[in-house]
Structure formats: C-alpha cells, structure tokens
Amino acid sequence: MSIDHLTHWASVAPDSIAVIDQRIEGEPGETRSMTYAQFEAEVNRWGNAIVAADLAPESKIGWCGPNSLEAIAITHASRRTGMIAVPVPYKLTVDEANFIATHSEAAVAWCDEGYDHLVPESIPRLGKSDDSTPTDPDLADESTRMLLYTSGTTGVPKGALRKIGGAPGQFGALLEMIWGGDTDHVYLTTGPLYHSGPSAFALRSQLLGATVITQPAFDSERWLQAVEEYGVTSTFSAPTSMRRITSLPAEVLAKYDTSSMRAYIANAAPWTMALKRAYLDNFPVESLWEVYGSTELSISAVMKPADHLRKPGSCGELAPGVEMALFDNEGTKIESSHTEGTLYVRSAGVFDTYFKNDEQFAANRLDDWQTVGDIAYFDDDGFWYICDRRNDLVVSGGVNVYPAEIENVLDDHPAVGEAAVFGVPDEEWGQAVHACITVAAGADEPSLDDLREFARERLAGYKLPKGLTVLPEFPRTGSGKVLKRELQTQVVGADT
C-alpha cells in the first residue's frame, strides 16, 4: 500500500499548517492550529481510540457538532482504521438526529460540547486516546468512506454510502484541474462538514498538503476577515453564502483584500448570473469555478472561469473520470444535443448504495448508470445544462429539502385536510419552502405561524414553510395525484 497522504506531508513538510480551527469571542474554545506533524499525531490518537474500541471492520463511527478540527481528524481516523464515518447533522431536531445515529448503526460516536443530546445515550461515546503511534496501515481504506444522509422522498432520510473522491486519484485529478497542482493552497470550509461537498474538498485538499480552516458558524464579515488574514486561496460553497457576502455594504466589502482567492468553487444549487456577476465584481475574475454533482453521484461536471459568461446556465463539461448520458422514459440513450432527458452518471465516484435500501438504489440504476432524477441536456460543444433538480426537490441555501417529509408532519395538524409542499424562488436562499393546504372539515383556518410552531419539534428550522397558501381543493391528475407544478405556478404568479 502506498504511504498515506497525511503521513507523507508530515514527513516532507512537518511544519506546514494542516488545520486552523478558528474561534472568536463568544464561541466555545480558542483558535487552534496544527502542523501536519501534529495533525498526523492527532489522527493517530483518534485512530487508536477506534482500535481500542475493538469494533468489527467497516463499523460506523458517528460524529456530531459544528465544523471543527475533531470532525476532520475523526473522519481521517475512520478511514485509516477501515471504518465508515457518519456525520450526524447538528442542526436537526433530536428526533431527526436520533434517527440517523440509530439507523446508521453507529458503533461509537463523538459529540462536540452542547450536542450530546442529539445522539442516543445507548451509543457509546468515543474518547481520544493518548497514544499517537501510527495505527496498522493494513487496516486503512484507500479512500475516505462516509455514510451521508439525505432526506428521502418518502419522508425518511436515506443514507448514501460512498467514497469521498471515488477511486484513488480521481479527486486528485479534479483538484489538479482546478488548483493547477499547486500545494500552497489555504482552503476555508464555508459549509457544514456534514454535507458531502464541503467535507470532500476539505478532506481531499490535504492530498496536496493544503491548510484547512474551519469555522463553527458562518458570518459574512468574519469570513472576509479570514480570507484576508490567512490568505485564503480556495473554498466551496452554496450560493446563499456568497449572496450574504456580496450583499454587505460596499464600505464593508472594500475593507478586505480578497485578491488571494484562486479557486472559489460554486455548487449545491445553481448560481444565477446576477450572483456570478456580483462575485466577479468583488473577487479575482479567474477564480470562479462551478461544479455540478450530488451526494450520490459526486462531482460530475466542471464549469471553468472562462466559460461562465459565454455559456450562461451551463454547469460545465465532464469532470475527470466521469461519463454522463441522457436516457428517455423508455430507457433509450439520447444522442442528439439540445434534447432533454434523465441524466445518468457513470464513474468511480458514484456512491455504493443506500444503506438498508438497496431497492431504491436499484430503482435509480440503468445497467451500470446511476441517476438522481435530474433532467438535463447538452449542447453541441459538450456543455451540460440542468433543467430541473428532480420534480419535487427543494434546494434551499444549498441544502436538499424533500417535500414529502414536511407534508407528513403538516398532515398531522388537526386543522390540515391535506398538504402539498414545494419550492418558490427566493433571493437569499435560492428557493424557499412553501406549503399549500386545505382545511379539515369543521376546523378553523390555521396561520403560517400555527403550522411552523406545530412542526418545529419534528423538523429542522430550514425545513419549516416560509410561505402558506390555503385553497379549497388541489388540482389533480386523472389518477388523483396532486399537480404540484400547477400549484407552484399559481403561487409564484400570485407573488409577481
């Protein structure tokens, strides 16, 4: 087996900074910085704690809390001991987080201060070992394996079992395309590490010996301060973060030097051209990259800086090691440009399966191609365009929100006869969750505040409806299905 990349950098550049865990006044703890030599020892301590727990191979190692040095170290330690890391999103309700921790069969878990209640007490807690000697390299997995949960269309979250970066070298080739092979990058983690994109780039940037900066919470001006203070060269984020940054007063934006940025990777939801222009007004024009992908399929397409303005609306060309194809409803491959079809991907980066739900994995598979249901087309130059991110999916602030989960909760309200949930355009979040309801017979019409308060104990804040429309009945297909597209058109049209 080849030498582990953390071990490599600890050997050839021991004094280079591996991780800066930034804290400011009002946040628990203090800013910590570790060199690659120190971080290698830290990962070994967590690795030896996992080994001491005497777990079966490929056991699940849970962790819960904001972005931190520990989250990165435990994920690396899981890889180096042949285990599978399971991030438990700390922004979920107790019931939602408990479901993930339990369903994943986490053998042990580490919880940051203040988040222990989100993981059932029945799951043993993982404490760091004092032993920093290297773990057995024969235990290591070649790629970081994680079990990442996404909300399910049936209202039950699905666990996507996957390798971060796909086969060895695939993610490295992507980084070389975007970073040009430079090893002097400083990567600022802009989104939560429990999401696939931010975690993938944070973890795999260390293939090239980059410095990774973590912040427990996002604040626009604090983010800009970090870019200037640490000479940040790269990050990955959803559009919401950049909307908040570029919406700062001009005098605030002018205070900070952003010239160090060399690769700002846009993803998680489509960036509008207006947002791209706002970015280019405040950051180096050659620094904006965009990637298309998903938790299940990894990064599939890449939009280079030179192509944003000449190919508006495109998500770019194929990423290294990736094949994409379109199929019609009969399963016939579409060969002609500008023809819409269901997008399928084939690459080493495609996830392994849905944990305990192989049926759903198989239902989204066509021969050796996999889909998440996106509708797309390609042009004559080989650039790809996403028409719709699944029929019902709401992408709010770069986070996938599935309407069925919300509908199931709203349907339990005594005043709700039926609920239909979908996304509507929102300037800050990209999309906002909107609910349409009918009123149960004999009940008084509930307000939006009533529904939000009712659902708050069972749904994370970002899933709560931000708008409400009450209707006497819903439009339906001949078979009785609610026509959400028609409802969405009515609501959006009424707001314009």
Q: Confidence band (pLDDT; 50, 70, 90) for 165?
A: low
Q: What percent of the chain has pLDDT over 70?
A: 94
Has residue 1 got a pLDDT over 60?
A: no
Shared domain check, 188 and 90? yes
- Is the confidence at residue 168, as pLDDT, over 80? no
Domain co-membership, 95 together with 230: yes
| pLDDT at site 478 | 46
Domain boundary among 354, 385, 416: 385
| pLDDT tens sequence across 55-103 | 999 999 999 999 999 999 999 999 999 999 999 999 888 998 999 999 9
Q: What is the pLDDT of residue 483?
A: 81
**pLDDT confidence of residue 136:** 92
Among 253-262, 264-273, 426-435, which is the least confidently predicted range?
Answer: 264-273
Query: What CATH number is attached to the domain comprising 457?
Result: 3.30.300.30
* For residue 8, pLDDT beyond 80: yes
Q: Are residues 378 and 404 in the same domain?
A: no
Both 81 and 123 in one domain: the answer is: yes
CATH value at residue 287: 3.40.50.12780
Locus of tokens 């962790």: 63
- CA-to-CA dists, residue 242 to 274, 349, 461, angstroms: 11, 27, 21
Residue 2 pLDDT more than 80?
A: no
CA end-to-end distance (rounded Å), the chain: 60
How many Å apart are CA 157 and CA 245, to the nearest integer?
31
Residues 314 and 442 in one domain: no
Q: Tell me: the pLDDT tens digits for 466-475?
A: 999 999 988 8
pLDDT, tens only, 371-415: 998 888 999 999 999 875 566 778 888 887 878 788 878 988 989
Both tokens of residue 291? 């990637």
Q: What is the predicted pLDDT for the residue at 152?
A: 45
Instruction: Report whether 74 contacts 61 (CB < 8 A).
Output: yes
Whether residues 348 and 487 share a domain: the answer is no
Domain hosting 459: range is: 394-495
Q: How many CB atoms lie within 10 A of CB 129?
A: 18
266 and 414 fall within a common domain? no
269 & 319 share domain: yes
* Range 286-308 average pLDDT: 93
Residues 377, 415, single domain; the answer is no
* Banded pLDDT at 496 (limits 50, 70, 90): very low
Mean pLDDT of 23-35: 90
Distance CA 56, CA 60 (A): 9
262 and 340 inside one domain: yes
What's the average model confidence in pLDDT over 26-32? 88
Q: Within its chain, how far is the Cα of 293 from the centroid?
A: 10
Residues 136 and 15 in one domain: yes
pLDDT of residue 153: 38
Last residue of a domain, one of 327, 354, 385: 385
For the chain, the average pLDDT equals 90
CA distances from 140 to 58, 60, 241, 288, 354 (A): 10, 14, 35, 35, 23
Residue 180 has pLDDT above 70, yes or no: yes
How confident is the model over 343-373, as pLDDT tens digits? 999 998 899 999 999 998 999 999 999 999 8
Distance of CA 434 to the CA centre of its chain: 22
Q: What pLDDT band is residue 270 in, cutting at 50, 70 and 90?
A: low
Give the confidence band of 274 by pLDDT, cuts at 50, 70, 90: confident
Looking at the fold, whether 404 and 306 belong to one and the same domain comes out as: no
Domain termination site, one of 361, 385, 409 = 385
pLDDT exceeds 60 at position 479: no
Nearest to 294 by CA among 379, 214, 373: 373
Between 484 and 50, name the one with better pLDDT. Answer: 50
- Domains identified in the chain, total number: 2
Give 273 or 40, the one with higher predicted confidence: 40
